[in-house]
Amino acid sequence: MKKVITLLLTAVLAVSALAGCGSNAGTAGNAGSGDKTKRTLSVATSPDFPPFESLDGTKLIGIEVELMDMIAEKMDVNIEYVQIDFDSVLNGVEAGKYDIGMSGISVTDERKENALFTDPYCLAAQAIVVTEGSPIAAKADLAGKAVSVQTGTTAELFCNAEGYNVSSFQANSDAESALVTGKVDAWVIDDLTAAEMVAAYNAENDTKLVILSEAMTTEPYAFMTKLGNDDLVKEINTQLDALVKDGTVKSLFEKYNAPYTQP
């Protein structure tokens, strides 16, 4: 909304400037440039992760997108979203190339060695997805099996640690395709994204995908920034914590039909 207003304002300013309304343009110009002098934070995201971030055409949508926009509005900053692969989000934010990582990022002790995290705003888990009729019915059945995951994710870490035969893909959709085309026996992915992607797949295909009921981990999601950015984390936490407390985050999950677990 803000962006649209900014765009409109810019357009109006441009038109009045062209029309030569000198004094009017001057007055409005101050209002317009107010936005431009605002601090801009770059937010790196991998929009292949519904309901948290995905693309509707070219529009970024999702729980985290709306949450980040709310936080930015309260912090009175502009946000510039940068769309990249998930592992580039982690690497880029660690290197300080982007101010914030927003990608359903699970907080882990390992990641905490190389980055700072805000307070977590929800809990998630890893889920196992198989094709209907698969002999795999639980985690124990994955031993020695071929499993697809997204590169750089906690699913990848977890499955490697378990010693599965892991195939990693930059895009979540490719990890899904590997299962659908029978290249792997199972696909391991965060539970809420699994629910969304499997529902979308099953709605359009005759062969069905099934999410096993055994969730494998508990993972808090948070936003990430580089080591040393303690002030930024504090600023975000002030707004984020309030939005968790007053139920806004919960209602965002409801809006996207996703079950919410508060950390």
Which residues of the shown chain bind ligand ARG in the complex (CB under 6 A)? Answer: 46, 48-49, 53, 86, 103-106, 150, 153-154, 172, 190, 219
Nearer to ligand ARG, 78 or 193 (CB): 193
Tell me the C-alpha distance between 256 and 53, whole Å. 11
Q: What is the smallest separation between the CB atom of 76 and ligand ARG, expressed in angstroms?
A: 27
Tokens representing residue 222 in the block: 């948070």
118 burial class (0-12, 13-18, 19+ CB within 10 angstroms)? buried
Tell me if 81 sits within 8 A of 93, measured CB to CB. no
N-to-C CA span, the chain: 30
Residue 124 or 212 having the CB closest to ligand ARG: 124
Beta carbon nearer to ligand ARG, 35 or 87: 87
Is residue 79 classed as helix, strand or coil in its secondary structure? strand
CA distances (Å), origin 178, targets 23, 61, 71, 129: 62, 26, 37, 11
Please answer whether residues 186 and 142 qualify as being in contact, where contact means their C-beta atoms are separated by less than 8 angstroms.
yes
Provide the minimum distance between the beta carbon of 104 and ligand ARG in the complex, in angstroms, as a whole number. 4
Q: Which residues contact 48 (CB under 8 A, 6 or more apart)?
A: 54, 86, 171, 172, 173
| 41's tokens | 């934070």
Q: Least Å distance between CB 223 and ligand ARG?
A: 12
Backbone angles phi, psi at 225, to 5 degrees: -145, 175
Tell me whether residue 153 or residue 237 sits nearer to ligand ARG (CB atom).
153
Q: How far is the CB of 47 from ligand ARG (least distance, A)?
A: 7
Closest approach of ligand ARG to the CB of residue 15, in Å: 39
Tell me whether residue 86 or residue 121 sits nearer to ligand ARG (CB atom). 86
Q: Which of 188, 182, 184 is nearest to 212 (CA)?
A: 188
* CB nearer to ligand ARG: pick between 105 and 186: 105
Specify the residue, 111 or 145, whose C-beta has the smaller distance to ligand ARG. Answer: 111
How many whole angstroms separate alpha carbon 87 and alpha carbon 214?
A: 26
The nearest distance, CB 260 to ligand ARG, in angstroms, is: 16
Q: Which two tokens stand for residue 245?
A: 């407390």
Minimum separation from the CB atom of position 8 to ligand ARG (A): 31
